[in-house]
């Protein structure tokens, strides 16, 4: 280093000038000798010492890393994982953590005869007549395990299979109909009680056998089943109260049926003559105004009058018809763009249509695949591909070629942390809830700290009647019992017509305004104590300005108190927010927070059966508060010179 | 000392009045008109009545006429009703609960007993554990056991009550089945002998009490430990050791007595704050305490109960403040002089 320095000086005048310039802006530290550098190290500022001491403690560093990653997780996470606040799906409710929704078994992959899914599990039949099952196959509440097959289910003996909301229906190669899963609502045809609103499986199916080759379509829906034979006869069985069209289908539509599509509560039927009917229950839907592709608004029924329909499909709430001219008609209640039918290139026509819970997939006559609708799991990302056959699960799309080989599978892979009682992904809600919890906590603690600093400093610095007044106000606020008062305020706010965001902001400020008193008293005491100390008197006698004394001599001593309290209060605010939300007086559903996500865990049913609904939010909340408290404790130790000397 | 006590008492009364005014005004922000409700009910029963006349009658009867200040004073019991009578807080009238159709004072008596019982019990339990533990940790400061307890208490006070409650319910009630999940008595236990009923109640209360004790362990142990450490570093302790006193005597007779003051003050503050803290426990375990009464009253818009209990919570915390101040003043003469 010294050699370089010598060379440097030899270079002459300009180098010296340059060095001076460098010194002017960056200081002379580079040219210090070793001794001088050590001297500088000895004179390190207390704050740097504190930082060093902090980083010497392993636990605190771990806590800091955990906290920072949690922060990144909840503040960057929402950008990566968007959340649909009002999304609910009863078919996806209370699913345990499961990531196998798209895991088509290997033996099935190149040998597909049929794939069918309605809710959270999917069934498949291979060309070798083997039966496969994937997805969420266990229901914790009813203890139904779909993987426990009835004895009729043998390899190589399954001809048709259909998955419903909570049951599976299968036709064996012997022509026997077998169902398993949840049977409480007559899902697979056996009605124990005459008065139940269930339709029993027709006798010839229940006790006899059918020719599996004559089966045109077997589908299962929300606690119901439909079997269409090649001669056009249709049989239905299941729960009339779940599937509202079921009774009418059973009475009126028994013959001449080509295909049936089930939405959540209704059915739409394609007759052999190409007409479409939804029965009485769908009449209203079909009479509603329908705007055709060329912009005319028409009554759908008159529009369909002289045309024939080629294919039908139904999502939960929407129905799609492929007309004989290759155009597509979608009607029903679209929530997620089910009606945004893509326009085909010139000359291409829609040929077939398939539907998941909230998305449609269509094949054109050129063999191209088009998909639209809800894309929460990527189930519509198949545009531009080609396929010969398409199968859909609830949120999955499977493209299969003519040989029965799976060419592409896209869609929802599963729930990392399960779903809650309304079918919402717990993981997504934890990310977004964390953002809300952290924001509420941070804003509350900043508000309370600002109030405390102002009150404490003014009170301690000015003294006299200002101090007297402020301290009385502080004591009034500190006499307010926190939880009951916050509940009352929150309740009052709830009765006012305020938008949700404003309400949340009010809650943040409310928490802050109710919790500043402790810190204010501490700051006041500290300021009072520091003012009387010798170094302040010394500074005063040396003629240092009052302002400089306040900021250079007193404030640094108070800052450590503020910093420690800021950290510890942050944890406190997280806890109070989640307690309030847990009691239902904080942030309200559907807006998630870690507290109100645990709201549902207030009964033994949830605690026992749906552990993932409370374990994960609780872990996140606990980890956050524990690490914040560790950091706060360490800060207190580190910033307090007395305690560090003792150690 | 007498002057100091008087001053504090006077001050407490002023704070109580200010807070009650505040609460009353917040309560008045609720869109509730009891007089209109009563008048409507009357009109429904008898269509011949005149609404305006009945409305005015009920307003006067319930003391809801006049300005907000008048109503507040009437509620306090220092301003007369239309018929010249005084009937408010100071006369012991807390109003009529719309939920139960009974005077509020009757409604809250039973929950109040339960809450006090639960709280005293859990305080005794918690103190019985935390004080020895805190002393032990302070004496063995820096040992592995101390560090272990420190980590445990940190986790303990970082966890919100409801998470501890959920985990304990899952562990002790659901998995192990030792305790009932919630409630205060077995159905049909009313015909049992009083001894059996008492044990039944204790059986139901054991899990809530365990949770309450557990959640208060963290903070208390740390506090006892901190004040004990401070006491142990005093000069008198060094002198006592130098005198050759036994370690036991040094710790329990010299150090603990010095640590007792901050601990006592903390205990008082904590004991009083626990009344609002048990709100959570009572709701989780469906215990018939005032916390649960407050919660259900809020949900059911039974505002007379809400108002009365709010005032109860405030009085409790004011009494707590007063006690703390008095003890400080009693023990530390400097405080008396300063104020």
- Chain A CB contacts of B283 under 8 Å are 583
Token pair in block for residue A106 = 């290997």
Contact call for A630 and B181, based on CB within 8 A:
no
Does the residue B234 lie in any domain? yes
B167: contact with A, CB 8 A cutoff: yes
- Separation of alpha carbons B288 and A424, rounded Å: 34
Q: Do domains A73-82+424-642 and A283-414 have the same CATH topology?
A: no
Would you say A209 and A216 are in contact if contact means Cβ atoms under 8 Å apart?
no
Instruction: Name the 3-class secondary structure at A28.
Output: coil
Say which of B154, B158, B276 has its CB closest to residue A484: B276
Contact call for A618 and B166, based on CB within 8 A:
yes
Any bridge partners for residue A213, and if so which? none
- Separation of alpha carbons B83 and B57, rounded Å: 11
Contact call for A488 and B23, based on CB within 8 A:
yes
Contact call for A622 and B316, based on CB within 8 A:
no
The CA R_g of chain B, rounded to the nearest whole Å, is 26
Instruction: Name the 3-class secondary structure at A319.
Output: strand
- Chain A CB contacts of B230 under 8 Å are none
- Tell me, what's the pLDDT at A642? 58
Does the residue B187 lie in any domain? no
**Residue A442: which pLDDT band, with cuts at 50, 70 and 90?**
very high
Nearest residue to A437 (alpha-carbon basis) of A609, A630, A572, A593: A593
B119: contact with A, CB 8 A cutoff: no
User: Could you count the other beta carbons within 10 Å of the beta carbon of residue A109?
Assistant: 18
Which residues of A, range 489-508, sit inside 8 Å of B by Cβ? 489, 491-492, 495-496
User: Could you count the other beta carbons within 10 Å of the beta carbon of residue A493?
Assistant: 16
A484: contact with B, CB 8 A cutoff: yes
> What pLDDT, in 10s, does the model give residues A141-171?
777 888 888 888 888 888 899 988 888 889 9
Token pair in block for residue B200 = 């039944």
- Chain A CB contacts of B29 under 8 Å are 492, 495-496
Contact call for A604 and B279, based on CB within 8 A:
no
Residue A646: pLDDT over 50: no
Would you say A249 and A262 are in contact if contact means Cβ atoms under 8 Å apart?
no
Any bridge partners for residue A238, and if so which? A199, A224
Token pair in block for residue A580 = 């309030």
B20: contact with A, CB 8 A cutoff: no
Residue in B closest to A631 by C-alpha: B154
Contact call for B276 and A495, based on CB within 8 A:
no
**Residue A647: which pLDDT band, with cuts at 50, 70 and 90?**
very low
Per-residue exposure over A345-383, b if at least 16 CB sit within 10 Å of its own CB, e if not: eeeebbbbbbbbbbbbbbbbeeebbbbbbbbbbebbebe
**Residue A644: which pLDDT band, with cuts at 50, 70 and 90?**
very low
- Tell me, what's the pLDDT at A480? 84
Would you say A161 and A124 are in contact if contact means Cβ atoms under 8 Å apart?
yes
Contact call for B314 and A491, based on CB within 8 A:
no
Does the residue B149 lie in any domain? yes
Report the alpha-carbon angle A171-A175-A177, nearest 5.
Answer: 45
Which residues of A, range 444-473, sit inside 8 Å of B by Cβ? 472
- Chain B CB contacts of A584 under 8 Å are 299
- Chain A CB contacts of B273 under 8 Å are 481
Domain count, chain B: 1
**Residue A249: which pLDDT band, with cuts at 50, 70 and 90?**
confident
Report the alpha-carbon angle B175-A595-A622, nearest 5.
Answer: 65
**Residue A624: which pLDDT band, with cuts at 50, 70 and 90?**
very high
Contact call for B154 and A626, based on CB within 8 A:
yes
Taking the domain A283-414, which CATH number applies? 2.130.10.30
Name the average pLDDT for chain A: 83
Token pair in block for residue B17 = 């009045």
Residue B302, sorted as left (phi over 0), alpha (psi -120 to 50) or beta, turns out to be: beta
User: Could you count the other beta carbons within 10 Å of the beta carbon of residue A408?
Assistant: 16
Phi then psi for A646, rounded to 5 degrees?
A: -65, -30
Phi then psi for B295, rounded to 5 degrees?
A: -60, -50
**ipTM computed for the complex:** 0.85
- Separation of alpha carbons A223 and A238, rounded Å: 6
Type and span of the H or E element at A351: strand A350-355
CA distances from A89 to A61, A421, B271 (A): 42, 9, 46
Least confident interval from A24-33, A85-94, A533-542, B187-196? A24-33
Taking the domain A100-265, which CATH number applies? 2.130.10.30
Cite the beta strand spans of B185-225 per DSSP E: none
For chain A, helix (H) and strand (E) counts, in that order, are: 22, 26
Between chain A and chain B, the number of residue pairs with CB atoms below 8 A apart is 116
Does the residue B122 lie in any domain? yes
CA distances from A84 to A203, A504, A539, A592, B229 (A): 46, 18, 60, 11, 53
Handedness of CA A335, A338, A339, A345 (dihedral sign): positive
Mutate which of B8, B12, B152, B163 to disrupt the A interface (most A C-beta within 10 Å)? B163
Residue A423, sorted as left (phi over 0), alpha (psi -120 to 50) or beta, turns out to be: left
> What pLDDT, in 10s, does the model give residues A483-535?
888 888 888 888 888 888 888 899 899 899 988 888 898 888 888 888 878 88
Phi then psi for A398, rounded to 5 degrees?
A: -120, 125
Instruction: Name the 3-class secondary structure at A189.
Output: coil
Tell me whether residue A590 is exposed, middle or buried, using C-beta atoms within 10 angstroms of its C-beta: 0 to 12, 13 to 18, 19 or more. Answer: middle
A55: contact with B, CB 8 A cutoff: no
Tell me whether residue B198 is exposed, middle or buried, using C-beta atoms within 10 angstroms of its C-beta: 0 to 12, 13 to 18, 19 or more. Answer: exposed
Contact call for B279 and A480, based on CB within 8 A:
no
* CATH class for the domain made up of A73-82+424-642: mainly alpha
Phi then psi for A169, rounded to 5 degrees?
A: -120, 135
User: Could you count the other beta carbons within 10 Å of the beta carbon of residue A66?
Assistant: 17
Contact call for A480 and B161, based on CB within 8 A:
no
Question: What proportion of chain A, given as a percentage, has pLDDT over 70?
Answer: 90
What is the domain extent for residue B290? 104-163+217-331
Which residues of B, range 187-216, sit inside 8 Å of A by Cβ? none
Contact call for A476 and B18, based on CB within 8 A:
yes
* Domain layout of chain A by residue ranges: 73-82+424-642, 100-265, 283-414
Question: Which has more pLDDT, B270 or A472?
Answer: A472
Residue A2: pLDDT over 50: no
Question: Which has more pLDDT, A257 or A461?
Answer: A257
In Å, how far is A479's CA from the nearest CA of chain B?
6
Residue A174: pLDDT over 90: no
Say which of B19, B276, B279 has its CB closest to residue A476: B19
In Å, how far is A637's CA from the nearest CA of chain B?
12
Nearest residue to B182 (alpha-carbon basis) of A579, A604, A607, A618: A604
Handedness of CA A598, A604, A609, A615 (dihedral sign): positive
Which residues of A, range 589-608, sit inside 8 Å of B by Cβ? 595, 598, 601-604, 607-608
- Tell me, what's the pLDDT at A3? 47
- Chain A CB contacts of B233 under 8 Å are 646
> Tens place of pLDDT for every residue, chain B, 339 residues?
778 788 888 888 888 888 888 888 888 887 777 778 778 887 877 777 777 777 787 777 777 777 788 888 888 877 777 777 777 777 777 777 777 888 888 888 888 888 888 888 888 888 889 888 988 888 888 888 888 888 888 888 888 888 888 888 888 888 888 888 777 777 766 677 778 878 888 888 888 888 888 888 888 888 888 888 888 888 888 888 888 888 888 888 778 877 777 787 777 777 666 676 688 888 888 888 888 888 888 888 888 888 888 888 888 888 888 887 777 777 766 655 544
Question: What proportion of chain A, given as a percentage, has pLDDT over 90?
Answer: 12
> How is A98-117 classified by DSSP, letter by letter?
B--TT---HHHHTSEEEEEE
Average pLDDT over residues A45-55: 80
In Å, how far is B159's CA from the nearest CA of chain A?
6
């Amino acid at each position: 280093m010294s050699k370089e320095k010598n060379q440097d000086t030899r270079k002459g005048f300009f180098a010296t000038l340059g060095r001076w310039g460098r010194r002017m802006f960056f200081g002379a530290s580079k040219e210090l000798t070793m001794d001088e550098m050590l001297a500088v190290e000895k004179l390190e500022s207390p704050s740097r010492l504190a930082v060093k001491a902090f980083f010497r403690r392993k636990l605190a560093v771990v806590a800091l890393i955990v906290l920072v990653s949690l922060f990144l997780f909840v503040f960057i996470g929402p950008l990566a994982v968007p959340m649909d606040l009002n999304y609910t799906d009863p078919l996806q409710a209370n699913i345990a953590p499961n990531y196998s929704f798209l895991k088509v078994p290997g033996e099935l992959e190149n040998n597909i005869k049929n794939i069918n899914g309605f809710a959270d599990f999917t069934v498949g039949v291979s060309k070798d007549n083997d039966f496969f099952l994937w997805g969420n196959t266990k229901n914790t509440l009813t203890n139904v395990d779909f993987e426990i097959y009835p004895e009729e289910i043998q390899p190589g003996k399954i001809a048709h299979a259909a998955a419903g909301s909570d049951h599976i229906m299968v036709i064996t190669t012997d022509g026997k109909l077998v169902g398993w899963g949840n049977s409480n609502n007559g899902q697979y045809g056996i009605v124990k009680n005459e008065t139940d609103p269930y339709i029993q499986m027709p006798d010839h199916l229940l006790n006899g056998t059918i020719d599996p080759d004559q089966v045109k379509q077997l589908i299962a829906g929300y606690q119901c089943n439909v079997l269409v034979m090649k001669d056009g006869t249709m049989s239905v069985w299941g729960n009339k109260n779940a599937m509202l069209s079921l009774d009418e289908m059973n009475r009126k539509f028994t013959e001449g049926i080509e295909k049936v599509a089930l939405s959540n509560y209704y059915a739409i039927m394609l007759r052999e003559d190409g007409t479409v009917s939804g029965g009485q229950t769908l009449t209203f839907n079909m009479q509603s105004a329908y705007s055709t592709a060329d912009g005319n608004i028409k009554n759908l029924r008159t529009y369909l009058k002289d045309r024939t329909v080629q294919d039908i499909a139904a999502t939960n709430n929407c129905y799609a018809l492929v007309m004989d001219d290759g155009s597509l008609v979608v009607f029903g209640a679209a929530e997620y763009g089910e009606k945004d039918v893509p326009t085909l290139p010139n000359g291409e026509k829609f040929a077939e249509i398939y539907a998941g819970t909230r998305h449609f997939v269509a094949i054109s006559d050129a063999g191209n695949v088009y998909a639209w609708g809800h894309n929460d799991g990527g189930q519509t990302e198949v545009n531009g591909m080609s396929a010969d056959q398409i199968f859909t699960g609830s949120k999955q799309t499977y493209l299969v070629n003519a040989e029965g080989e799976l060419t592409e599978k896209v869609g929802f892979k599963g729930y990392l942390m399960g779903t809650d009682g309304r079918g919402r992904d717990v993981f997504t809600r934890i990310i977004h809830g964390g953002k809300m919890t952290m924001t509420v906590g941070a804003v509350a603690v900043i508000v309370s700290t600002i109030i405390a600093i102002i009150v404490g400093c003014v009170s301690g610095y000015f003294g006299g009647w200002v101090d007297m007044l402020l301290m009385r106000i502080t004591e009034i606020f500190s006499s307010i019992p926190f939880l009951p008062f916050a509940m009352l305020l929150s309740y009052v706010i709830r009765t006012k017509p305020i938008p949700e965001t404003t309400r949340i902001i009010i809650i943040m400020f409310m928490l802050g305004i109710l919790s500043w008193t402790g810190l204010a008293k501490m700051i006041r005491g500290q300021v009072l104590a520091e003012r009387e100390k010798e170094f302040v008197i010394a500074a005063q006698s040396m003629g240092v300005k009052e302002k400089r004394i306040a900021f250079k001599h007193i404030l640094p001593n108070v800052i450590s108190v503020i910093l420690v309290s800021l950290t510890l209060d942050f944890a406190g605010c997280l806890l109070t927010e989640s307690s309030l939300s847990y009691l239902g007086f904080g942030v309200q559903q559907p807006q998630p927070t870690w507290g109100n996500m645990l709201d549902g865990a207030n009964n033994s049913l949830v605690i026992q059966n749906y552990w993932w609904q409370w374990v994960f939010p609780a872990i996140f909340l606990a980890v956050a508060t524990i690490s914040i408290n560790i950091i706060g404790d360490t800060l207190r130790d580190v910033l307090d010179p007395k305690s560090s000397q003792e150690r | 000392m007498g002057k100091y006590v008087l001053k504090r008492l006077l001050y407490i009364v002023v704070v109580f009045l200010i807070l009650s005014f505040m609460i009353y005004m917040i309560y008045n922000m609720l869109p509730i008109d009891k007089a209109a409700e009563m008048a409507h009910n009357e009109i429904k029963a008898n269509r011949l009545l005149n609404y305006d006349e009945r409305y005015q009658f009920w307003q006067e009867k319930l003391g809801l006429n006049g300005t907000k200040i008048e109503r507040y004073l009437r509620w306090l019991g220092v301003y007369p009703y239309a018929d010249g009578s005084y009937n408010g807080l100071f006369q012991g009238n807390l109003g009529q609960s719309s939920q139960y159709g009974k005077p509020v004072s009757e409604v809250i008596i039973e929950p109040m007993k339960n809450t006090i019982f639960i709280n005293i019990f859990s305080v005794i339990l918690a103190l019985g554990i935390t004080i020895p533990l805190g002393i032990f940790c302070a004496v063995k400061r820096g040992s592995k056991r101390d560090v272990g307890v420190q980590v445990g208490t940190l986790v303990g006070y970082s966890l919100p009550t409801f998470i501890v409650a959920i985990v304990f319910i899952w562990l002790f009630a659901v998995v192990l089945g030792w305790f009932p999940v919630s409630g205060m008595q077995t159905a049909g236990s009313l015909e049992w002998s009083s001894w059996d009923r008492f044990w039944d109640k204790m059986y139901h209360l054991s899990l809530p009490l365990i949770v309450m004790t557990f959640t208060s362990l963290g903070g208390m142990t740390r506090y006892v430990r901190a004040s004990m450490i401070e006491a142990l570093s005093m000069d008198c302790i060094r002198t006592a050791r130098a005198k050759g006193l036994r370690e036991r005597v040094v710790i329990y007779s010299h150090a603990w007595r010095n640590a007792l003051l901050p601990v006592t003050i903390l205990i008082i503050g904590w004991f009083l704050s626990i009344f609002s803290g048990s709100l959570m426990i009572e709701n989780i375990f469906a215990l018939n305490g005032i916390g649960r009464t407050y919660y259900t009253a809020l949900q059911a818009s039974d505002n007379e109960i809400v108002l009365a209990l709010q005032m109860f919570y405030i009085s409790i915390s004011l009494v707590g403040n007063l006690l703390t101040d008095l003890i400080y003043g009693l023990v530390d003469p400097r405080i008396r002089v300063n104020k």
